[in-house]
């Protein structure tokens, strides 16, 4: 006999939050057929239809909205129960779940985590790395409680604070003859490789250039900053990346190209879902981030 267990409810809520079966599968580290099957099992058990499709993805039916309200409460209570039991068992391994956008996950967290974890025995870290949009969705679905992203969010669903200052720079191969300084309008004369849509780096660059009346197209899109740096080093493409990504490559394989009158500075943000109580280890990590540059 089918039952509405924690596993099924978590899948259902993640699909509802992300409005996508494929995104839910990625965030939950499941295959899309598995997600589809579990949703179908819930629908068969209750005798209702939970989702319908529109142009932007899948949305809840009226019956689905009712289940979502109760499922959210059940999952919250389950998490509180789990934390309470964990605190009573001294030898139970703690788990720190973090979602980080690509630049932070690949180039900043590897320096931050070892320092935080020092003298913290038995802490297991689960790190999901994706673009900023995926991290925001993961926070809402409670796939992880802490999200680290490269752009500010404009939604009352999140609590957020700045925790690191970063700079985005324009890079080119050291072997190209591009000048060390270019005018904004001259950018349209070059070929560019960009991160994918939804990337915090790309969002910031495009918004800043639009203010200068400059619009450049992506001749190529790659979802990995590491791959972009290597491609640029071996081609005549240009790209915008965090200085963190190429700090060990500048002057060797890559060079920085400055843009007259423009400098891309940004803050990295820590986000959590509003009005929820974080587990103890997550609260400790948030406090660590708050004081990291002080």
Interval 221-267: pLDDT, tens: 998 889 999 999 999 999 999 999 998 899 999 999 999 999 998 89
Mean pLDDT of 272-288: 88
Provide the pLDDT confidence category of residue 275 given band limits of 50, 70 and 90: confident
Q: What pLDDT is attached to residue 89?
A: 52
Cβ-in-10-Å burial (0-12, 13-18, 19+) of 70 comes to exposed
180 neighbors 285 (Cβ within 8 angstroms): no
Q: What is the pLDDT of residues 81-126, one digit of tens each?
A: 877 766 655 444 478 899 999 889 999 999 999 999 998 887 889 9
Mean pLDDT of 57-76: 92
Q: Give the rounded percent of residues in the chain with a pLDDT score beyond 70.
A: 95
Tally of CB atoms within 10 A around 117: 14
The C-alpha atoms of residue 165 and residue 91 are separated, in whole angstroms, by 37
- Crossing angle (nearest 10°) for helices 109-117 and 280-290: 120
The C-alpha atoms of residue 16 and residue 19 are separated, in whole angstroms, by 5
Q: What pLDDT is attached to residue 86?
A: 62
Judge whether residue 1 has pLDDT over 50: no
- Count each helix (H run) and each strand (E run) in the chain, helices first: 11, 12
Strand partners, 271: 147, 160
- pTM, to two decimals: 0.62
Provide the pLDDT confidence category of residue 2 given band limits of 50, 70 and 90: low
Calculate the average pLDDT of the chain.
Answer: 89
**CATH numbers and ranges of domains, the chain:** 6-86 (1.10.10.10), 94-164+267-290 (3.40.190.10), 166-265 (3.40.190.290)
Q: What pLDDT is attached to residue 120?
A: 85
Q: What pLDDT is attached to residue 294?
A: 47
Burial 185-200 (b: 16+ CB within 10 A, else e): eebeebebbbbeebbb
Q: What pLDDT is attached to residue 115?
A: 92
Mean pLDDT of 171-194: 94
Q: Give the rounded percent of residues in the chain with a pLDDT score beyond 90.
A: 60
């Amino acid at each position: 006999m089918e039952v509405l267990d924690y596993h099924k409810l978590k899948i259902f809520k993640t699909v509802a939050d992300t409005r996508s079966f494929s995104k839910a599968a990625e965030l939950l580290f499941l295959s899309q057929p598995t997600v589809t099957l579990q949703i179908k099992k819930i629908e068969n058990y209750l005798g209702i239809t939970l989702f319908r499709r529109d142009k932007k993805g899948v949305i809840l039916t009226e019956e689905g909205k009712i289940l979502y309200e109760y499922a959210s409460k059940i999952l919250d209570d389950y998490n509180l129960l789990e934390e309470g039991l964990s605190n009573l068992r001294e030898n139970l391994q703690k788990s720190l779940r973090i979602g980080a956008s690509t630049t932070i996950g690949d180039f900043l967290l590897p320096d931050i985590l070892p320092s935080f974890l020092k003298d913290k025995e038995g802490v297991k870290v689960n790190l999901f790395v994706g673009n900023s949009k995926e991290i925001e969705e993961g926070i809402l679905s409670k796939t992880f409680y802490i999200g680290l992203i490269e752009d500010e969010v404009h939604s009352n669903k999140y609590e957020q604070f700045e925790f690191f200052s970063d700079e985005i720079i324009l890079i080119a191969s050291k072997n190209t003859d591009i000048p060390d300084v270019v005018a904004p309008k001259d950018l349209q004369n070059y070929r560019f490789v960009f991160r994918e849509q939804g990337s915090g780096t790309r969002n910031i660059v495009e918004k800043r250039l639009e203010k200068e009346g400059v619009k450049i197209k992506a001749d190529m899109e790659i979802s990995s900053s590491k791959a972009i740096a290597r491609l640029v080093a071996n081609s005549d493409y240009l790209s915008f990346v965090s200085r963190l990504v190429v700090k060990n490559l500048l002057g060797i394989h890559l060079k920085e190209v400055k843009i007259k009158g423009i400098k891309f500075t940004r803050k990295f943000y820590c986000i959590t879902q509003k009005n929820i109580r974080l587990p103890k280890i997550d609260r400790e990590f948030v406090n660590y981030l708050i004081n990291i540059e002080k």
